[in-house]
Structure 1
Amino acid sequence: MAETKSHIGTQNKKGQTYTDPWKMLNEAPRKPSFYTGSEVIKEAIRRASCDVMIAYPITPQSEAAALIGELFAEGYIGDYFRGESEFAVMSQCAGAAFGGARVFTTTAGPGTMRAMENFPMWAGARLPIQMIVTCRGINSPLSIQPDTLEIAYLLNTGMLVWHAETAQDFFDWILKGYMVSEEPDVHLPLALCCDGFFVTHTKDVVNLTPTDMCLPPYDPYRSPVPCMDMECPPVRMMRDPFVMKSNYISYATHASWQQEVWAAVERSRKHTIHWLDGLIDTENADAEVMIVASGTAVSQGREAIRLLDDEGVRCGLVKVKSLRPWPGEEIREATKNAKHIFVPEFNVTGWLAKEIKATIPNSERVHAGPHVCGGMTMPPEIIVSEIKTALGLRSESLAGRGS
């Protein structure tokens, strides 16, 4: 195998220096900036050495896609274009990744659902595409507001799935996501999710790395499967005789490969822990009352904990950062002292509560809720009320809230 030359210390055409990712994200100075989540996505991609971005407009990710188009015009991205539909976008992303490009895209809600067939294909083809999912309602009647139901559909595609709480998470995790997904023993796509509008269209102070630093370029020859060339086209697998001539061998091949994809998800665990500093964060882990949440429900949980503390009720928190790989052992350890576990969610089905119930002993401790959906906000008082009701404490009616 030919020796791979390191790009660290050299510059790209924009004068950015290819920097060791660990030093860039953990040791480089940071500049506080007041940005929306969409603007933060742009700033992360400015530093990500992306080769291709493919876009299609759907609220609330359209602004991020348009801003990345500006990066293309400025010369920070190799190629940028709009697909004919969300399904087309994800198919074109696959083509670019097959060709050895570092690929980025964004989607939301119904767009995610229309493109869904592509995601298991990405995973099965071991394509380390990164996709931002700015979650929104997918049910009829139509809603463009935040709702995380689409995450439930992504959990079984073979993709890595992370759920960001804040714009700061977004900035850091986009860059760290490429470091995890491009590892040779992983090499899987990543769905980096946030709760649309709550993150994308609100402003926050985000600490950014210097603009003159960027990630090293993607090396497709570190892939566990060949990138596309004239000898290894992506359709080769479908031309091979085992598919065309032997059902038995075809079944065995595909079954073993699906197991390999999920083994790669598990192998990503050590890399995800390394880059995200653990799959979960905890506060007051010895408390008998715990809130376990992901995304912006974590922020609402923090405020609920403050309100409960004012009333003399001690409550802990588990922030779930990675959904795939799933932090089962960490959640079991963090909740081992809890008598009551509350899982607030921005969706109607309670997919996170179901995952937790399937993970921990004595799962009757899990209270699936409160739930809000279709774009409703979740006042922390609702979480407080649900906790106090479960504990047999008197809870004031919320009917007059704000009057």
Structure 2
Amino acid sequence: MGTHENPNVPQIGTPNKKGQIITAPEEIFFNSPRTQAFLTGSEVIKEAVKRSSVDFSVAYPITPQSEASSLVGELYADGYVGDYMRGESEFAVMGQCAGAAFGGARVFTTTAGPGTLRAFENFPMWAGARLPIQVVFTVRGVNSPLTIQPDTLEIAFMLETGMLLWHAEDAQDLFDFMMKGYIVAELPEVHLPIGVICDGFFVTHTKDVVSMTPENVALPHYNPYANPTPVMDMETAPIRHMRDPFIMKSNYISYMTHASWQLEVKAAMERSRKMTRKLLNGLIEVENPDAEILLVSSGTAVSQSREAIRLFRDKGVKVGLVKIKTIRPFPKEEIREATKNAKYIFVPEFNVAGWMAREIASVVERNERVIAGPHVAGGMTMPPEVIVEEVERTIARMNKK
């Protein structure tokens, strides 16, 4: 692994071409003064990119991320993003992102729903090639009949791509996760793509108060030489794996090559836990951990769960919350510890599949405690009263049995 620094790239303590001072990440995240702004999630994406020293971004319109892509284009016009272009399709966008990352650029893009599925083949390729690209998934429905409404089903497709996946509850999470995501993804011992997920419309098109870092400071630039594979070296794994004929053959060497590299990608994801815990103040957040009833989920479902807990409190019922921040790596030990005393574990989700409930049931002891639901899908909201009703009805039925 090299440590070469590009003399043409501003270093910490010096200004970039827009006058932003390149600042150590921990100084920005934990010590810089913050000011409040009232922004939509799409505007938050723009503000995070503005402070992230992004070299290259590719855009292709799909609701609900089109506005964010357009705003990143404005950053390019203003000189905050190195290069910006529109791709021919979602699949083309992700291939172009890969080319830029192979060349040593810090890359950003966005997609959603059917766009995610059309681009899908590229995501495990990114992971196998150890490309620390960031993509914001503004998740939406993927089913027919066509819908543009919020739904988290597409996350289920992403779980085993080899990407880091962080799920933002709100616009504040989105802002922080985007900037912190680059720092974790680009660690030499990690060096994997990262998907920062927010729920379409619920976050992208809703205004919220966000605590912003100063706009006159920016993250250090990506150093492509401090990575586990030399930049564009066609004689070195994993790039060589993509072109050598032997790797496509049915023989023991091919099997072992692929198997060992998949295991290395999984190991790199595990190595991300240490820094992620530090930057996100843990992989989960817990309220009332001693409660018999726990609501456990990620994304917007967490916000609805908070309101449901308030309604339960008015009824004199103590209910706890486990907010899951990172889906990959999945916080197995943390969830197991946080739920050890619970009698009921409810998992509200904005999809019909219940993939989060399955994930939780796979790691907790006595997983018969895990109740998948309530579920809403297709763009429906989840009023906190729906959560309360589901919990009360389910517990009454279980007690009756």
- TM class by shorter chain equals over 0.9
Name the SS for the 1:40 alignment partner: helix
Cross-structure match for 1:40: 44
Counterpart Cα distance in 2 of 1:193 and 1:78: 24
User: How far off its partner does 1:25 sit?
Assistant: 1.1
Q: CA deviation at 1:3?
A: 5.3
- Kept in 2, the 8 Å contact 1:109–1:135? The answer is yes
CA offsets per residue over residues 86-116 of structure 1, 9 Å max, x none? 0000010000000000000000000000000
Candidates 297, 304, 310, aligned match of 2:308: 304
Listed one character per residue, the Cα deviations across residues 16-49 of structure 1 (whole Å, up to 9, x for unaligned) are: 0000110111110111000000000000000000
Instruction: Check the 8 A contact 1:99/1:229 in 2, yes or no.
Output: no
Name the Cα RMSD after superposition. 1.6
Q: Which residue number in structure 1 is paired with residue 185 of structure 2?
A: 181
Give 2:25's aligned residue: 21
Question: Could you say if the C-alpha distance between residues 279 and 230 of structure 1 is closer, same or farther in structure 2, counting changes exceeding 3 Å?
Answer: closer
User: What corresponds to 1:353 in structure 2?
Assistant: 357
CA contact (8 A) 2:12 2:22 kept: yes
For residues 238-269 of structure 1, give each alpha carbon's deviation from its aligned partner in whole angstroms, at most 9, with x where no partner exists. 44364267722111101100010011111111
Residue in 1 that maps onto 2:108:
104
Classify 1:26/1:356 alpha carbon distance in 2 versus 1 (closer, same or farther; 3 Å).
same
Q: 2:347 aligns with which of 337, 340, 343?
A: 343
> Residue type matched to 1:362 in 2?
R
**Distance in 2 between residues matched to 1:60 and 1:238, nearest whole Å:** 34
1:271: Cα distance to partner?
1.2
What is the 5 A alignment of 1:177-326?
177-228=181-232, 236-240=240-244, 242-243=246-247, 247-326=251-330
Q: Which sits farther off after the overlay, 223-232 or 105-114?
A: 223-232
Q: What corresponds to 1:386 in structure 2? A: 390
The DSSP-based 3-state class of the residue aligned with 1:392 is helix
Q: Which amino acid aligns with 1:71?
A: L
Deviations 1:345-387 (A, max 9, x none): 0000000000000010111111100000000000100100011
Letter of the 1:157 counterpart = T
Which SS does the other structure have where 2:232 is aligned?
coil
- Give the match for residue 398 of structure 1: none
List aligned pairs for 1:114-193, cutoff 5 A.
114-193=118-197
- What's the % identity of the aligned pairs? 67
Change (3 A) 1:253 1:392: same
Partner of 1:50: 54
Partner of 1:94: 98
Query: By how many angstroms is 1:7 displaced?
Result: 1.0
* Pick aligned residue for 1:327 from 326, 331, 337: 331
Question: What is the one-letter code of the residue matched to 1:118?
Answer: N
Q: Cα distance, 1:389 vs. partner?
A: 1.1
- Segments of 5+ residues of structure 2 without an aligned counterpart are none
CA contact (8 A) 1:49 1:214 kept: yes
Structure 2: which amino acid aligns with 1:137?
A: G
How many pairs are equivalent? Answer: 393
8 Å contact 1:11–1:17 — kept in the other structure? yes
Q: What is aligned with 2:372?
A: 368
Task: Return closer, same or farther for 1:388/1:132 CA change in 2, 3 Å cut-off.
Answer: same
Give 1:231 deviation, angstroms.
6.6
Q: Is the 8 A contact 2:134 2:194 kept in 1?
A: yes
Q: Deviations over 1:302-352 (max 9, x none)?
A: 000000111111100000000001101100110111000100000000000
Q: Structure 1 residue 234: deviation in Å?
A: 7.6
Q: Deviations over 1:171-221 (max 9, x none)?
A: 111000000000000000001101100000000010111111000000001
Q: Which amino acid aligns with 2:219?
A: L
TM-score, length-scaled by structure 2: 0.95
Match for residue 65 of structure 1 among 64, 69, 90: 69
| Displacement after TM superposition at 1:230 (Å) | 7.6
TM-score by length of 1: 0.95
Q: CA deviation at 1:236?
A: 3.2
State the SS of the aligned residue for 2:396.
coil
